[in-house]
Amino acid sequence: MKRLLALATTFGALGHGAAQAAQPVDWGLYLQPAASPVMADVHSFGSFTFWIIVPVTLLVLALLVIVIVKFNAKANPVPSRTSHNTLIEVIWTVAPVLILLMLAVPSFRLLYEQQTIPNADVTVKITGNKWYWSYEYPDAEAVSFDSTLIEEDQITDPVKQPRLLAVDYPMVVPVGKVVRIQVTAADVLHSFAMPAMGVKIDAIPGRLNEAWFRADQPGVYYGQCSELCGLRHAYMPIQLNVVSDEQYAQWLAAAAEDMDAATQLLASFETDTTKVAAR
């Protein structure tokens, strides 16, 4: 009963807004709700793959049961000496090829969508450090800052500052705009992962990798470094605040002057608390 109540709480939480939906939840059963077109297509591909996996798994299970029941030593004391069967060999060669082709077509389409970056409205350069992220906005020369974890003893509001996810200075982008991210590292390998946006890209010293996303809903989204980067790997979160165009312009102007003032301004914005649309 407790498990059913926990599951109900999980699905109910998704209705409380983007902030709650864009972080791990107790008894979560699937990927985070999609907040970008790429992640929506990841969901679709995952569902498509699931309905291929299920019949394949059931078929293999059925074959195993048949073999166990029909060909055990008691039921079949004199085993067949057959070593080849042309029909079976053709089937088990052709069937996997057809299955792989069915998976390849949508997989390549999704990969192309992820790797082909549209004309960007906003560019953010992201640098992974031990153990925090640094952000630069090339279009606004004066805006650059380090983003570090809010330690557990500094949390004042557990809802707005989830443990191991909230940061002092979050990355901010406007809603509905194409955001190009340029990711690198200053020391060791890191990985910038933002599940709700369908983004996961390695941060490699001396190399600049690119990805993109477009946030369809305002709110607060969370991610973490997904590369085992050292002692404080688990304490290197990502916080993304998605705001309106007007709010973004206000934040950008404030950030050019003082990050503390910009963060206070950000906290004053009323974000949309509608459910993240999982398309």
In whole angstroms, give the CA distance from residue 24 to residue 30. 10
Q: Is 106 exposed, middle or buried (0-12, 13-18, 19+ CB in 10 A)?
A: middle
Query: What pLDDT is recorded for position 275?
Result: 36
Note whether residue 214 is domain-resident. Answer: yes
203: tokens are: 């941060």
Domain boundary among 115, 133, 164: 115
Query: What pLDDT is recorded for position 38?
Result: 95
How many structural domains compose the chain? 2
Indicate whether 158 and 264 sit together in one domain.
yes
User: Average pLDDT, stretch 212-229?
Assistant: 94
Indicate whether 253 and 198 sit together in one domain.
yes
Indicate whether 138 and 258 sit together in one domain.
yes
Indicate whether 197 and 68 sit together in one domain.
no
Which tens digits make up the pLDDT trace of 117-135? 999 999 999 999 999 999 9
In whole angstroms, give the CA distance from residue 6 to residue 28. 9
Q: What's the distance, CA 99 to chain centroid?
A: 26
Note whether residue 275 is domain-resident. Answer: no
103 vs 8 pLDDT, higher one: 103
Which tens digits make up the pLDDT trace of 173-218? 999 999 999 999 999 999 999 999 999 999 999 999 999 999 999 9
In whole angstroms, give the CA distance from residue 192 to residue 226. 7
Note whether residue 263 is domain-resident. Answer: yes
Note whether residue 190 is domain-resident. Answer: yes
User: Average pLDDT, stretch 230-250?
Assistant: 95
pTM of the model: 0.80
Other CB atoms within a 10 A radius of the CB of residue 14 amount to 18
Least confident of 19-23, 61-65, 143-147, 243-247: 19-23
The sheet carrying 199-203 orders its strands as 171-174, 237-243, 219-225, 190-194, 199-203
Which tens digits make up the pLDDT trace of 254-268? 999 999 999 999 988
Which tens digits make up the pLDDT trace of 15-64? 334 444 467 778 888 888 899 999 999 999 999 999 999 999 999 999 99
CB 27, CB 35: distance < 8 Å:
no
CB 124, CB 182: distance < 8 Å:
yes
Domain that holds residue 154: 122-268
Which tens digits make up the pLDDT trace of 65-100? 999 998 888 888 888 888 888 998 999 999 999 999
Indicate whether 208 and 138 sit together in one domain.
yes
Note whether residue 22 is domain-resident. Answer: no
Indicate whether 172 and 207 sit together in one domain.
yes
pLDDT band at 273 (very low <50, low <70, confident <90, very high): very low
Indicate whether 110 and 207 sit together in one domain.
no
